Amino acid sequence: ECVARREGMENRRQKLHIHLIRHGETMYNRMNKVQGQSNVPLSDLGREQAGFLGARYQDAFFDEIIVSDLLRTRQTAEQIFPYLSNTDLEQRVEYSPMLREKDAGIFTGQERGAADVVARKEGIPVRLYRPDQGESWQDVALRAQKFATRLLQRHLTPTPSPSSSSSSASPSPPSAVPLGASLEPPAPVTREDAPPTPAPTPACAPPEDLFAPRSTAWRIMLVSHGGCIRELDHSLMAFNKVPIASLPGMEEELPKGPPPSRNIRNCCVTVYEAGLSRTGKMKIRALLRNDISHYEGKLGRTQSTL
């Protein structure tokens, strides 16, 4: 029985469903101010948004939950957790600085766009401009790339070939790759031959109820921030059709170009499906994108932009 259960878990690991959630609204969102890595709490509306999303996950079970360690994401997750069927959340949840928002440095608390104005005045590309005590968007992209690479590497392993399975030696389990590494940004490397980022597409009908209590896939919840989510989305989609064998050396290789401009709404959820083809290439697609149907039309006001 234990062997069958373990094999069932490994089979589910061959298909991942990654639920990427943005935090609920804060007062800085409402006032159009830069939050960066400051610990701004959720507004009353933000807590309501997260509560509606929690109700959408009624009795759902997650195999893995990783939350940005900033206050607004932790509070969002705390509104969702009571609805889940997990009874071991303390052991299953990881709070990670890798999922933090871009550190805005001296521009924290200022009006959005202030750093871009300074970058243009100084003749520095906006994505490369690093404010005092802060990060550039290139830094955030590298952090997101490292996180996405390690997450996929930790779970996606090629199916053993018939010849290898006939060997007397048991296959080694995939090595656990730590996700919470140093935030010091390495020198950027651009992968010129990376697959082009697909154009934005409307949310497609999911092949199964993505919010059902149980799933045939290994279910992962990530709770993060608008800027980090854009970069994570860019990395994940660029991995589509890339050989899994190439993954260990890609932590510092960025997808070509900036991420697509997307409207990342407060407390929206995007769901990715990730797996491997028979030839060992990663298959990654978005099953649901930036969805807020759990609270849309149910609240007096929604905050819809980053």
Active site residues: 23, 101
Nearest to 53 by CA among 265, 286, 273: 265
Sign of the C-alpha dihedral computed for residues 182, 289, 110 and 28 taken in this order: negative
CB 85 within 8 A of CB 213: yes
Rounded Cα–Cα distance for residues 221 and 21 (Å)? 8
Angle between helices 71-80 and 44-56 (to 10 degrees): 40
- DSSP code of residue 247: G
> 36: which 2 tokens?
């960066």
How far are the Cα atoms of 188, 206, 289, 304 from residue 226, in angstroms, in the given order?
22, 23, 13, 11
- DSSP code of residue 243: B
